[in-house]
Amino acid sequence: MSIWPIPYRAAVSLTFDDGMRSHLYTAIPILERHGLRGTFYVNPRGTEESAGVGDSWMKRLAPWQPVQARGHEIGNHTLLHPCSLNIQTEWNQEHNLLYWTLEQVQEDILAAQRRLEAAFPVQRGNTFAYPCYESTVGRGRGRVSYTPFVAAHFVAARHKGELLGDHANDPLHCDLHHLSSWPVERQSGARMVGLVEQAAHLGRWIVFTFHGIDEGHLLVGSGDFTQLIEYLARRTDIWTAPLVEVGRYVGLLHPDPVHS
């Protein structure tokens, strides 16, 4: 017997990182043509709107306002997209999680959230995606997780699958604020469809992570993306919904004892 709402046997969430042009002009039209919605994680960088010059963060978020109004989720991906990747380059010195404190990452997340709430005031609650799939700051004995902070502020949070071949979440036992996801750059449509079928067989929740659609170095081809979306639109027994919607439902199955 399925634990998902009738008539569903599994769930799929389609998530997209970094607010790319191909999300607005390729992914969203394909999704909406097939009656589906996704979660789009943006970094609301930019100057203050009051400055009147430059690339203001409100202007950068403006194209996403009608997207949210049509039922897609706009999620938090931090303001500055801090990563470590265990490398030291000029590019990431200032935003390197190896050298950040817990307080720094918390303030960065909250700063992004304040901007998102100002731009999307009718959006009640949203989810978080860990930049570069990293959920800790510091290094060695000083390394600490910021997942507890994320859990206190968001409905759910997307991480990455820890074990090869085990990327679909068991709704009864998953950590809602450290969800496994499947990065699908350079994956074929057939491969992605196969992953959904495997998750459906197990009754699980699979979360896909997309970057560019025919754009950037972590791209998925538009033809492969369309093949997946057409398949999902046909599968009336699979619940395809933004991460926040499935997250709210899963949260009711095993509420966090700390907050219940």
pLDDT in the model for residue 112: 97
Q: How many CB atoms lie within 10 A of CB 185?
A: 13
pLDDT of residue 258 exceeding 50, the answer is no
Contacts of residue 203, Cβ cutoff 8 Å, sequence gap at least 6: 2, 3, 4, 9, 10, 171
pLDDT tens for each residue of 155-206: 999 999 765 456 799 999 999 999 999 999 999 999 999 999 999 999 999 9
pLDDT of residue 118 exceeding 70, the answer is yes
d(CA 222, CA 241): 20
Mean pLDDT of 85-108: 84
260 touches 55 (CB < 8 A): no
Amino acid at position 86, single letter: N
128 touches 176 (CB < 8 A): no
Mean pLDDT of 95-109: 95
pLDDT tens for each residue of 24-60: 999 999 999 999 999 999 999 887 654 444 569 999 9
Q: What is the pTM of this model?
A: 0.94
